[in-house]
Structure 1
Amino acid sequence: MRTLLRLCIVVALACAPAFAPSAALAAGGPTVLVLTTGNEAQDVADFALERLHMEARRWSFTLVEGTPADLEDLDGTDVVMFLNTGADILDETQEASLHSFLSRGGGFVATNAAAASEPDWDFYQELLGATALTPPVEPASEQEVAFNAGSPITDGLDEELKVTERWYYFDPEPAQPESTILAQLGSGDPVAWNSESYNAFYASPGGTGKTWGDRDFLQLIRQGIWWAAGEQGMLLQNSEDAAPEWPYTWTFVLFVVAVAGGGSIAVWRLDKDEALRESEGAESEPAADPPVRAGV
C-alpha cells in the first residue's frame, strides 16, 4: 500500500506540467512602443501599462515602454502608442521620424489626452482626423458608449459600455471618408475611430484606472493595436491560464516517462532499504526465553 501511494505521488508530479499554466509567447506578433510622457495621472498610466502587459502576454504582441527619444529609431516597431500623453512632447527630429514611420505604413494608437498631445503639429491633426478642444473642464461623468459593428476593432463588442471619464470633444470632429466612427456617446459625439488614410486608431476613454480595468475597453484597445499593426489574421489568445492542447509533444511524453521511471527506481530503492532495516532490526532483538512447562 505504501509503495502504491508513493508511485501515485511520482506520477502526479510527472504529469503536473500538463495542467500547469502555459507561458504566453509573443513570438511573431506585433511590437508596440508605448509612451506615457507628460501624462497627468501617473497612477493611471502605471495601471494601464500593467493591464497592457497582461494583454500582450495573453494575445501575442510585445509591449515596449519607451520615451520620445525612442521614436528616432523605429526599426523593429510595428505600432507606436500614445497612452494619455501630455502636450508638446516631441521635438522636430522625433516628429520627422514618426511622420516617416506612419507614412510608410506603421501603426498608431492613442488614448484619452493624447488627442491634444501635439496641438501645433498639422500632421498630427491630419493623422487623428480631428482636433481636440481645450482639455476637459467638466467633472467626470458616467456615459454609455455604443459600438458600431462592421470593423475588426469592434468585433465582439455588441453591448453598450458604461464609462466614467472627463470626456474630450472635437472641432472638427472625425468624419467620413477620412475616418470611420467606431463608437459614440448617446449624444452622438464620437469617442473612438480609425483613420482611412493611415493605420491610426484613437479612443477617447482611458483617463481613469477603472476604465483600464474594464474587459470590454481592453478588448477594444487590443483589437485596435492588432488592426493598426496591419495584422490580417484572427487575434488568437495565448493565455497563461490555458493548458496545452492534447496530444502533447514527444519531448513532453519522454519527459514524463523519464520522471516517472526515475521516481519508480527511487521508490524501489526506498522500499528495499526499509525492508533491509526491518530485517536487521529483527535479527538484533534478543531471542525470547522458551516457555516454562508446568511442574518442571
Structure 2
Amino acid sequence: MRRTSIVGAAALLAAIACTAPASPVAANPADPRYDVLVFSKTAGFRHDSIPQGIQAIRDLGAANNFSVTATEDAAAFTTANLAQYEAVVFLSTTGDVLNAAQQTAFEQYIATGKGYVGIHAAADTEYDWPFYGNLVGGYFASHPAIQQANIRVENRGHAASGHLPQTWTRTDEWYNYRTNPRTSARVLANLDEGSYSGGGMGADHPITWCKTFGGGRSFYTGLGHTQATYAEANFRAHLLGGIRYAASRSQADCRPETGYTTLYNGATTGWSQAGPGSFTNTDATLTSVGGMGLFWYSQKQYTSYSLKLDWRVAGDDNSGIFVGFPASTDPNSAVNSGYEIQIDPTDAADRTTGAIYGFKSADLAARDAALNRAGEWNAYEILVEGQRIQVFLNGVRINDFTNTDPVRNLDGYIGIQNHGTGDDVSFRNIRIKELGAPPTGGDVTVQAESFSSQSGVQAVGKTGANNGQTLGFIEQGDWAAYNNVNVGGATSLRARVVSGGPGGTLQVRTGGATGPILGSVAVPNTGSWNTFATVNTTLSGVPAGNANVYLTFAGAGGGLFDVDDFTFVKSGGPGPGPGPGAVVGLGGKCLDVRGGGTADGTQMQILTCNSGPSQTFTRTGQTLRALGKCLDVSGSGTADGTKIQLWTCNGTGAQNWAPQANGTLVNSTSNKCLDIAGGSTTDGTVVHLWTCGTAASQRWTIPA
C-alpha cells in the first residue's frame, strides 16, 4: 500500500530578489528526519557542476533535517537499498545509467509512494526506458549557448516556487524538450523565449514542473548547468522545495491544468470590497486587512465550474472562500445565502480547513495528510457541479457536499473573506474554469475516487486520469459507495479503467456492498498502469430517480485494476459519450490526422499527444470524427493492413467503430480492429486494419 503523506512543514524562504547574494536557506525544523540519495552517474556528457550540486544538496540537508548519500554506483539501485530513502535525486545524469534489474527496482521504489527529483541533464538520460521518460516528463532535445533569460513563474503556490518573483531573470543553459510536459504535469515555470536566443518550443516552454506518476512523486527542473547556479539562494530554495515535495514533506496540487481563466494574478479589475476592511495587493498577492468583509468578483456569476487558488495563513488565522451568493454590498449576504469553504485549521470540525462552514466537516484524516502548516502555501480546488461542492486540498479530495437547502442555490458569485484584525491570510493565482451546464436527465458520470465511503480502496494520483486521480489499490472483496446518484433511466454502465495487473470484474450494486447486482463487466489488463480503456455493460433492475450505488470488485490477487470514472448511460446504450477528446493508444501516443490534412484519404497515424485539432475526436453514434470528417477504412476493405484514413462522413460501415470491453475498436464491416502497424510507438507510425487479438497495439482509450 502507498505510504501516507506526512503533514506539511515550515515555510521556505521569505521572498528573495533574484539579484540577492547567496545566503543560508531557512531551516525546516518541523520536517521529520528523512534520507535522500543523490545519483550522478554519467554515460554521456559530464557536467563540471556536479560536485557543486552535491555540496549544495548536502548543505540543504544539514540545514533542513535530511541526510544525503551521494553515489555514482548504479548497484545502489536495489529494492532493499532504495527503501531507506524518501527521495532519489538524478543530478545531471546522462545516457544509459541503469541496467534492466536496476530499472525494475527503481520502478518498484516509485510505486511505493517515494519521490524522484531530476536536475538539468536528468532529462538527457535513459531514452530507451519509457517509464523514466514518463516519470521525468520530457526528454532533452537541444540547447543554445549559455545566456541570460527570463523565467515566468506561473505557479507560486508550490514549495519550489512560492518564494520566487513572477519574473525570475538568471543565466543558465536553457534546454528545449522533445515534447511539452504540460499535458501530464503541473508546470511551475516557463521560459520567455523572447528574452533570449535559441528557444525551440515557442510561446509555451516549460522549464520546471511536478507530477504524480506510478504511485510516487516527481519534480524536475531544467536549471542547474553552471557551477554558479548552486550558490544562488533562490535556486537553492527552489531545489529544496522540489526535494521536500518529492519526499512528501510538502504537499502540492501537481495535477496537469489547462483551460483556466485568471480572475486575479496581480490585477484586481472586476473585484469589489463588500463591508469593512480590505486586502493589500503586493507581489501578485492579496493579504487580508481588518473586516469582517468580503472581496468578491463582481463581474460575473457562475454555475458549474472549477475554482482554484493558493492560500497561506501566518498562524492561527481565519478566512474562507464563499461561493453561490447573490450580488450585494453586504458581506452577510454571502454568509446567509451562500456557502463558505473554510481555511482556519484550528477551529471545530465543521468550521475548520476544508469544511463547508457550519454544514459539513472535511474528511479530517485526508485533510491532515494533505495540509501544509502555517507559513506555507496550500492549493484549493472548489469544484461546483449543479448543487454539489467538492473540495480538493493540494490535489486531494477532502469534502463532498450537496446543497438541499431551498433558501440557498450554488448559482452565484465567488469571493474571499477578510475576517478581522489579526487574521492575516494571503491569496494568490485565483482562476476559474467553467464546466457548462450540469447533467439533468442525461448520462451521469461519477469520478470513481469521489466515493462517499469505501473498504480497501483509495484515491491514487495518475497521469492521464480525468481530474488527475483514479480509484486504486483494488483487491478481491473491496468496495466503494456513492450516495445519491441519479441513476433513473440508465440502461448501461460505461467505465474508464486501467490495469497493469491481472484485471478482474467490476460490479455495480444498490442498497449495499452485498446488494442486488445491476450489472457486471470484465476488466482486462490494458497493457500498463498508464494505458486506459473503456468497458461497458448493460444494466437491469435500475431504481427510479436517485440511489446509493456501490462498486464492488472481484478477481485473483492484488492490484487488480483502477477505475477512473463511470457513467450511467441513459442516451442510447453502451459506448462513449459525445464529448471531444483524444484517442490514446500504445505508449500514450495519440491517434492523429497526418499533417492536420482535411482532404479525403488523409492517412491516420500515431503522434505524441498535443491536444491539437488533428487529435481531437468526437464520438457521434458509432463514428469517430475529427476536422469535420470521419475515421474510415479505405475502400471498405477487410484485408489485414488496409489503410485507415480520414473521409467525408457517409454513414457506411467503413466508418462504424464499436468499442469493446477489452479496449479494442472493432470496425463493423470487417469485424477487424484498429491497430498500430508493427506495434511501434514511433511518431508517424501508421494505423491500419488488422485481425483482432491480444496485442497492446489494439488497445485504445476513446473520448468519454
Per the normalisation by structure 2, the TM-score is 0.29
How much has 1:214 moved relative to structure 2? 1.0
Corresponding residue of 2:57: 52
Give the deviation of 1:41 after TM superposition: 4.4
Residues in 2 aligned to 1:201 and 1:25: alpha-carbon distance in whole angstroms: 22
Q: CA deviation at 1:27?
A: 8.6
Decide which moves more: 167-176 or 72-81. 167-176
Alpha carbons of structure 1 residues 169 and 110: separation in structure 2 relative to 1, 3 Å = same
CA contact (8 A) 1:86 1:116 kept: yes
Shift of 1:113: 0.7
| Partners of 1:158 and 1:165 in 2: CA distance | 17
Task: Output the CA distance in 2 between the equivalents of 1:57 and 1:143.
Answer: 31
Q: Partners in 2 of 1:235 and 1:58 — Cα distance?
A: 20
Deviations 1:128-164 (A, max 9, x none): 222321x43x211211112222223312223532232
Could you tell me how far apart the structure 1 residues matched to 2:133 and 2:76 are? 22
Match of 1:35 in 2: 39
Matching of residue 186 in structure 1 with residue 192 in structure 2: yes
Partner AA of 1:102 in structure 2: I
Q: Structure 1, residues 215-246: CA drift from partner, whole Å, max 9, x if none?
A: 1111111010000011145599xxxxxxxxxx
SS in 1 for 2:207: strand
Residue type of the alignment partner of 2:40: T
2:159·2:238 contact (CA, 8 Å) conserved in 1?
no
Secondary structure, counterpart of 1:175 in structure 2:
helix
Secondary structure in 2 aligned to 1:87?
Answer: coil
Partner of 2:282: none
Residues 90 and 117, structure 2, Cα contact 8 Å, conserved in 1 = yes
Corresponding residue to 1:63 among 53, 56, 68: 68
Deviations 1:7-52 (A, max 9, x none): xxxxxxxxxxxxxxxxx99993221100111174454111111121
Flag structure 1 segments of 5+ consecutive residues without an equivalent.
1-23, 237-296
What corresponds to 1:75 in structure 2?
83
| Matching residue within 134, 139, 145 for 1:126 | 134
Amino acid aligned to 1:59:
N
1:64-143 alignment runs, 5 A limit: 64-66=69-71, 67-72=73-78, 73-133=81-141, 135-136=142-143, 138-143=144-149
The CA distance in 2 between the partners of 1:93 and 1:235, in whole Å, is 43
Query: Partner of 2:601 in structure 1?
Result: none
Q: Residue 121 and residue 186 in structure 1: after superposition, are their counterparts in 2 closer, same or farther (change >3 A)?
A: same
Residues 179 and 27 (structure 1 numbering): CA distance in 2 closer, same or farther, change over 3 Å? closer
**What's the offset of the Cα at 1:71?**
1.3
**TM-score (normalised: structure 1):** 0.66
The residue type equivalent to 1:110 in the other structure is G
* Correspondence 1:196-215 to 2 at 5 A: 196-197=212-213, 198-215=216-233
Question: Is the 1:180–1:196 Cα contact (8 Å) retained in structure 2?
Answer: no
Among 154, 171, 174, the residue aligned to 2:161: 154
Give the whole-Å Cα distance in 1 for the aligned partners of 2:65 and 2:30. 4
Secondary structure of the residue aligned to 1:130 is coil
Q: Which runs of 5+ in 2 are unaligned?
A: 1-27, 194-203, 251-371, 376-704
Aligned mates of 1:235, 1:49 — CA distance in 2 = 30
How far apart in 2 are the matches of 1:222 and 1:208? 18
Match of 2:545 in 1: none
Partners of 2:61 and 2:88 in 1: how far apart?
Answer: 14
Larger RCO (CA within 8 A; separation ≥ 6) = 1
In the alignment, structure 1 residue 167 sits paired with structure 2 residue 174: yes
* Structure 1 contact 131–173 (Cα < 8 Å) conserved: no
- Aligned-residue Cα RMSD (Å) equals 2.4
Q: 1:227 to 1:141 in 2, by over 3 A?
A: same
Distance change in 2, residues 1:171/1:43 (3 Å): closer
Structure 1 215/234 Cα, relative in aligned 2: closer, same or farther at 3 Å? farther
Distance 1:26 1:152, change over 3 A: closer
Identity of aligned residues (%): 24
- Report the count of equivalent residues: 211
Q: Give the whole-Å Cα distance in 1 for the aligned partners of 2:110 and 2:77.
A: 11
